[in-house]
Each structure stands twice: as structure tokens, then as C-alpha cells.
Structure 1
């Protein structure tokens, strides 16, 4: 199914969530209208039964012709039989629309998460985003389902009942209409606290989701160091806040339901007593059947109004989820590529022209007045202490970050003028922490590529020194690696990451601490594989161990975001500067 993330983003600009829902449902207006008509037909017995009951009572009490009894009962039976086909068709119409809207929202959210900048993802917890995609959209879906089932039922009974009363006993219509203002008054009084309680509860659940995600990822460290009690205590505070917010929400909902029930039933009893007294004294021509009808309608209309009021908490919660989803759909932190020049090919030449970059609220720039040029096919290593700006430079090269000032040129063209999505087709990244998904080795190596042959996958595995261990696995290429590659060792995962890079035949290669935390044999295999991968490609390397970058064409020593030294391994050693000091520390 085609998705419409861009139109949703264009339309959602902080307006009322109901307008957003109306916009989402625009493709299903005809289907929803038909479903509404079908619902009115299939639920008509609810508000016609009191009228037919009144007619039957009048036939019995007044000894009217018996055929009127059979006509009324036959009409009721016919309407009851229409309920089944009407209900099935109604469900088909509404279910299709609601499921399509929720699916469109999830697709739109997933697309937007791919478009948002890396800076956004560093600020917003993945657990919070997961909650928005799953829980918030589910809440919106539940709101629409309950609003359609309960809301249409209540409105049908309310409107039908008022029409019948206006026709049969018009003098009682003003009294009945008092129910609606009374209910609206209660809803207005409790709307503000309901909204705030729902918002508080949503925020606490998002925080809980983030904590659970963090806790599960840290389980190996927690168990390995005997920190289970600390982990549980850390979760306790979050769970207590969720419980407290939930209790406050439930209490507010309880007060809302109880007050509305008391008011509505009190008004209903008063109306019933009034109708009985009027009929007793023979005023307004009220018959016994009319009293029975009004009595039944009091219950029906009270139930309908209560049903509408009881929908308020769910609707409030659903609209809050619409706002929550809108926080992502309208997030401004996007990478802008529309209308920019596509990169059809690249030589891999980079020129940093007085580039600076500062993260929001940072005390100083992470990269400051960075001037440097990289020739096509050159291997450049970035070294320096933690916080020197090495990873920031890599993110600038990939385009995840854009310079705060200055510019970066790719083959002589300012990267601000390029569609970075097309540029990244020529880039492969081998990160420090290999990221694999729960699929087969074949799927992980060929991820994102169409119609890749097994021969190409085997060749990439061979170049990455991974074919030997893959062939020893029971299912070979079809071996499932487990969540995040849990069934493989660190060295095996890293070699699969290299194979994933090899098969793309990139022009630009990014190696971010690709051999850290590996045993000696694994490091040797990976270094050999990386040497083959780097040949003829522009390569940026960040490495902690200087022994792994001694063959780089140039080494850039960074300090506080600045370029401190540039040269080959031998040149920098002979200069007796910062690089020589780092090398002496590691060699010693």
C-alpha cells in the first residue's frame, strides 16, 4: 500500500487533532458515510422499540383493532432481521478505514524516523519512539473503533429518540433536551484534568519503555557484575511514577463516570415522575402508552448520553496520542534533500573549507576551523583523545551532521547542494559496534540490495575472511544470526559487516574503531580483510590503536576539534609531537 508520510507532515501543523484525523480519513469518506447509514439502519430497533411498545400498550388498553398489534410486531421483527447484514457491512466499511489509517500512520512514522537527523535520534530515546509507533497508534485505533461503535450507537439512539418524542409528545421535548446540556457541563468541567492526566500518564509510559529497553540491553553487564538489585532499584522509581500517574488517571475517570451517572439518572427519574403525574391527571392528552414510551426513552437516552460521556476519556487519550504522533510527524530536525542535485558518480575527493560544528547547547565546537583535503583513493586516519572531534568528522563526511560554518566539498561541489541520500549509495560504513538484524547471514550481507546472487555473497564473505566460519555453520548462508547477531562472536560479526561493505563496492569507506575490543587472531583476520577493502577507495579511519593505522597515507592528529598534526606514521614519529607521545604511551 502506498504511504503518505509527506502529505501528513504537510497538513499537520499543530492544529486540532480532530482535523488531522479528518484529513487522514479523506480517502474513506464515501465508505464511512455508507457505514454510518448501515449502522443507523441496523441499530434502529434501539430507538423504535419504545414507540412500538407504546403502540402495543395503546392497542391493548384501548381495545383497538388487533391487526395494529401484528403490524407493529411485524415491523419490529423485520428491523431485527436487518441487523445481521447491516452490522457485517458496517464493520467491513469502518474496519477497512480504521485499519488503513493506523497502517498509514505507522508507515509515515517509520519513514519520518528514517528522514530525521542523527542529532534528533541522539536526543530522543529509541524506547520513546518505539512507544509512539506501537502504543500511540494502537491507542488512536482503539479510540476510532470505540468512537465508531459506542459513539454512533449513542448518537443514533439519541437522535432517533428525540425525533420520536418530538413527533409523539412534543411537549416533553424541551425537558428531554435538558439531558444534553447537563452532560456537556460535566464534560467541560472535567475535560482539562482528563487531558492533563492522560498526558502525564503517556509521558511516564514512554519513560518506562525507554528504561525497559535500556535494562534489557544492559543485562549482560548487570548479571556479569552482580548488579541485579541496582537495576531493579533503578526501575522501581520509574514504575512507581507510572503507577501513580495511572492511579490519578483512573481516579479522574472514576469521578467523571460517577458524577455523570448520578446527574443523568436523576434527570431521568424526574422526567419519568413528571410524565406519570401528567398522565394521571389527563393533561396534554398523554396516554398510558406514552408514559411507557417516555419511561423507556428515559433509560435509552440516559444510556446514550452516558455512553457519549464515557467515550470522553478514550477520546481524550486518543487525541493526546495524535498529538504525540504529531511530535514526530512535524519534527523540524530533517535532513533536507529535496530539489538538490543527485550524485550519479563520485571520485571520492573531499575538501574541508574552514569547517566548524557545534552541538546544540555545547560549550565549545566539536570541530573548529577544520581545513583539510583528501585525494581520491587516499586513506586518512584520524587519531586523538576522546572528545577530540574524530567521530564528528566522520558524521560530517557521511552527511549525518552539517557544518555550523564553513563547507565540505565532494569532488569540488558543496555538499549542501547535493542529495545526500544518493551520495550514500557510494559509501560503506564499518562501525565499532556491528549492527546485525535477526535474519540469515545472506540477508544481513545483502541488506538493501536487490537480486544479489549467492556467488556475489560468497565472494564478499571470502574477501572479508568470513567464508571459512560461515561454511562451518549448520545452515551456511541460511544460518539465522539471532537478535543483534547474538549467536556470533565479535570477530565474526565484524567480518560480516566488512562483507556487507565489500558487496556494495563503495567509493568512500568509513571505518570507526573497526578492530577495537577484538582478540589478536580476529584482529589479524579483520585487518587483512580491511586492507583488501580499502584498496583504491577513499577511506576515513578512526582508530584507538595506532598500530592499526601505520600504513595510512596520512594521519590527522586532532586536539579539541583542531588539526594538531598531519603526516605519515614515520613523519609524525620523527616530529616528536603529540602523535609520538601517543605512540610512546601505547608502545610502552
Structure 2
């Protein structure tokens, strides 16, 4: 799945994570190629210093000349000093690409999450989504940062060592080749077991994040019922799962790293002994300095391979995070809007034409053959017992759900042919419990809008009966409301939400139990504000409290997904049917 993101494209395949990483790097090839070209110059002291050391030793053994000593000292100084500037340049180039890849991934995930259906978000914990956007992208950045450097360093050292050894003592080249099969065997041994351990650890972390989010949401209920011990036990169970899977992964990585180090160090010591034996016996004509050079090169090679193998667990974690990110970027449950007609204006007419809807895996349909015509500017209320289909009607009207039978017409046009994102710009929703983000009151009221005049914001607050809230605060509408509006009461949050709807001047308004959670005084203020908000707008209302919908133009009574009665309050009460029984039950 390819996701457009700020002029670039992010393509991630969970089945081929390494290929996906290479594709991400290729998207920033100019910086990456520049970094790769700079790296051998930056790291030249790694392979050059053994040559300098060998010549200095031979000069000492031979007793001069001192002029050559000065030449090799100058070579060493230049090689070391240039490392500062080239290393800074390499960091700017490569880490610039890595950080941009991280930003591209986060932007692509955000864009994808905004395109996925409400069904996906209802079945996926927000804590898991947060973990993917924050932790998994960070793991990918760390893997690129920590794995690439030793791989490039080892490539530089091996190349320099092979070239210099081929020029001086070519007989020792086969000894270097022993490191390659050893590294491949060790890498294969890790990969065979590491993927499953990394996946188990990631799943446990996501499960734990979900429980932490659940704990934070339920904290007031937990404390109110004295269930602190129960909440702690649930978190402890999740933490134990993370501990166990993390410990098993750590032990596997520890065994692999220790085995890699021991095997390669034994090989390094063997190279030193073989070089010394060759020099002493005269089997190969090499000088004492060349023995030191060979030993140093082999130490660098084995050390480099060891370093690469040591960071492979980080790379494995990064690849697992690529798979995790791919789960979102390739999730097929999209709200399809691309290529559909843009809605420039909305009149407010809605037509449910023999609409039916069944949730996935549900034994019974949520709605069945609903035929309803809502006229522009009309207020239509939906009532009925829990599970009768009221909220499903609102979600269909908002385009969050698509009919599985029949069709929904918006101003006479089939909703399936429209880009519903553009339709929703003319719609406002006031839910049962309005959520505010952590910002000022003004920022919450004008959320998503630009250059809104102060007079318009003030009028929206007045019409929402929220002006007094602002006037009583020391910083007025610049007061920060706290996370989810925690510094305001439920009634105050609801009135701010109504002001947010008013400032948009919507043509269609959806009210979902907008007053059910309020006390009597707050309810009166909110109902008065809603009356102003509903004036002249097509309004769909879901309510359990029938007293709040007496003034609706029509009331639709639902039962088991079917429309059983339609009419205004007086007519339905006079009919003595389902609505009349509900109304009587609430009065008594």
C-alpha cells in the first residue's frame, strides 16, 4: 500500500521488511549516497593506522631514517584531523535522511489512520495506535542509526585491509576470508529464532499499552468502586507478559553476542600466532611490522564483524517494527473517498431509501428496510430501546458507515458517489460527552478553522451560553482547558462543543444524547443553546430522555432495527403505541 505524504510516498511491506527499509532509504538517495561516499574518507584512519604503525616499527627496528618517521607521522595527523569535519558531514547527511524517514512514516501513519474506517478505530485500542506511531517508528530510526554505521565501518575496514594486505603479504588473504562464513553461520543461527521472539515481545508491549490506556480511562470508576487492587492486578499481569517475553529475547541476544565475540576473538588470536610463526620460521617473508599490521587488520575485521553481529538484535527489533507499521499502512478497511465527487455545498436533504445495515459477524442486522425522507431544515429525533439502531442511523448519516442494503441520498445524490470528507465540512456533531483537546478555549472553538474573527467566536460563545464561562476565567478564552477538557465541568465542555458547532455554521447537525449526562441546571443551559444551534438546520437527534425532543418536527421510533412509528410528539402520544408507552414509563 502506497500512502502519499508531503510530496513523497511511503511504501512498507510487512512480508519483506528489509526490502521496505531499503526502499525507504532509496527515497532519500541523494543524502544516503553522499553519506556512503563520505564514510570511507571519514573512517580512513581505521585501515590506515595499522600501515603507519607497521612502518614506524620497521623504522625503529632498522634504526631509521628519521625523515620517513616524519612522513608517516604527518600522514597519521592528517588522517586523524580530517575525521572531525567528515564525521560531521556524514552525520548531517545520513541522520538527515533517517529523521526524514521517521517524519515520513509518522505522517503516512497519520494520513492512513485518518482514512481508515470508524470500524477499524472502534476495534483497535488507541494506545496500540500510539505505540505504532511513536515507539515503532523510533525503533526503525534507531535500527537505521545503530546498524548502518558498523556495516559501513566494517565494509571500509575490510576493503582497506584486503587492499593493503594484497600489496604487502597476499599469502594471508585466505585467512581473512574465514570471517565471512563464520559471520553468515552466526547470523543464520540468530535469525532462525529471533523473529518469533521479537514478535512476541512487540505483541506483549502493545497488549500492555492497551491495558494502561484502559486503566487511565477507567480510573474514576476504579476509585469510586474501590477496585484499585483489581486494576493493579490487570496491569501487573500485562507487565509480567512484557517482562517474560523481554527476558527471553534478552537471553537469546546475550547468548548470540557472547558466542559471536568468543569465536571471532579466537580467530583473531589465531591470526596473530600464525603471522608470528610465519615470520619466525621464514615460511613467509614478512617483517615484524607486517606481523603487527596483519594482526591489527585481523583484529579490526573480527572486531568489526563482532560489532555488526552485536547490533543485529537492534536491527531485528527495527524490522519487527516495520512489520508493525505495515499493519496500519496496509490495513484494507478504508473509507473510500478517492476519486469521488467533491461536495461544494449542502442543502440538508437526506433520504434513507430502503436502507439496511449489518455489522461484520453480527447475527442480526442493526437496521432493516429503513425508508425515511428528511427535509432541509427539519428536526428528526430517533428513539427506541438500546440496540434498536439509533446510533447506527447517525453513523450512516455522517458517512462513518455505508449501507449494506439500499442507499443513502444526500441532496438527491447517492452518498456512495461522494467524497464524504467534503460533505462533513458542512456537518457538526455534538456527542453525549464532548472531548476537548489540551489547548485554549478559543483554539478548541475554532479547531480546524483559520482566521476566524474574534467577533464571530464571541457570538458563538454567547449563543452557546458559554460566554460566562470565558468571562469568569482569569485568562478568558486563552485559558488552557487541560487534557480532554479536564478543567471544565461536563456542562461547560458541552457548551464549548456547541460553540464549536455554531462557529462553523453547519447545514446538518447531529446530536447524540447531547444532554443525557448533565444535571438539571446544566441541561437547561445546554438545551437553550441547542435550540439556537438547531434553528434553520437539518437536525438528527438521538435521545433516551423524551422530554428533550418534544419539539422535534418528527419522531422516529425504532425497534430491532425497524421503523415502527413516525410522527410528532402529540400524534404519537395520541396513537397510544410504542412511543406513548415509553413516554408514560418516563413520566412515572
TM-score (norm 2): 0.97
- 2:542 equivalent to 1:579: no
Is the 1:5–1:109 Cα contact (8 Å) retained in structure 2? no
Give the SS at the match of 2:284: helix
Q: Which residue number in structure 1 is paired with residue 527 of structure 2?
A: 527
Report the counterpart of residue 131 of structure 1 in structure 2: 131
Q: What's the counterpart of residue 504 of structure 1?
A: 504
SS of aligned partner of 1:74: helix
Equivalences for 1:476-495 in 2 at 5 Å?
Answer: 476-495=476-495
Output the CA distance in 1 between the equivalents of 2:6 and 2:94.
25
Kindly indicate whether residue 448 of structure 2 is the aligned counterpart of residue 448 of structure 1: yes
Q: Which residue of structure 2 lines up, in the alignment, with residue 141 of structure 1?
A: 141
CA–CA distance in structure 1, aligned partners of residues 163 and 308 of structure 2:
18
| Contiguous gaps of at least 5 residues in structure 1 | none
Gaps of 5+ in 2: none
What's the counterpart of residue 207 of structure 2?
Answer: 207
- 1:245 is matched with which residue? 245
| Structure 1: distance between partners of 2:7 and 2:184 | 35
Return the offset for 1:233: 0.7
Who is 1:360 aligned against?
360
Give me the whole-angstrom Cα distance separating, in 1, the residues matched to 2:552 and 2:9: 45
Aligned to 1:17: 17
Alignment partners' CA distance in 2, 1:430 and 1:235: 34
Provide the residue aligned with 1:348 in structure 2.
348
Q: Map Cα deviations across residues 555-577 of structure 1 (whole Å, 9 max, x no partner).
A: 11111111111111111112222
Instruction: Supply the distance in 2 between the matched residues of 1:63 and 1:468 (Cα, whole angstroms).
Output: 94
- Is residue 258 from structure 1 mapped to residue 274 from structure 2 by the alignment? no
Q: Secondary structure at the match of 2:425?
A: helix
* Structure 2 equivalent of residue 414 of structure 1: 414
Report deviation, 1:20: 2.3
The 2-side partners of 1:422 and 1:281 are apart by: 85
Q: Which residue of 2 aligns with 1:280?
A: 280
2:301 alignment counterpart: 301
Shift of 1:185: 0.4
- In structure 1, what is the equivalent of residue 49 of structure 2? 49
The 1-side partners of 2:439 and 2:170 are apart by 69
Q: 1:6-54 CA distances to partner (integer Å, 9 max, x unpaired)?
A: 9877733445223323332334322222222222112111111112211
The range that moved more, 464-473 or 548-557, is 464-473
Contact 1:222 1:228 in 2 (8 A): yes
Q: Distance in 1 between matches of 2:256 and 2:14?
A: 28
| 1:384 aligned residue | 384
> Counterparts of 1:62 and 1:132 in 2: how far apart (Å)?
63
Query: Contact 1:8 / 1:24 at 8 angstroms: preserved in 2?
Result: no
SS of aligned partner of 1:338 = coil
1:58 CA drift (Å): 2.0
Deviates more, 1:381-390 or 1:23-32: 23-32
Q: Report how many aligned residue pairs link the two structures.
A: 586
Kept after mapping to 2: 8 A contact 1:352/1:370: yes
After TM superposition, the score normalised by the length of structure 1 is 0.97
* Inter-CA distance 6–416: structure 2 relative to 1 (3 Å threshold): farther
In 1, Cα distance between equivalents of 2:362 and 2:347: 35
Contact 1:5–1:112 (CA<8 Å) still a contact in 2?
no
CA distance in 2, matches of 1:404, 1:10: 32
CA distance in structure 1 between the partners assigned to 2:215 and 2:542 by the alignment: 29
Q: Distance in 2 between matches of 1:370 and 1:80?
A: 79
> How big is the shift at 1:191?
0.6
Distance 1:24 1:8 in 2: 10
Q: Distance in 2 between matches of 1:10 and 1:367?
A: 39
1:230 equivalent in structure 2: 230
Shift of 1:511: 0.1
Give SS of 2:297's match. Answer: helix
The alignment yields a C-alpha RMSD, in angstroms, of: 1.6
Contact residue 10 and residue 24 of structure 2 kept, 8 A: no
**Does the Cα contact within 8 Å between 1:190 and 1:256 map onto a contact in 2?**
yes
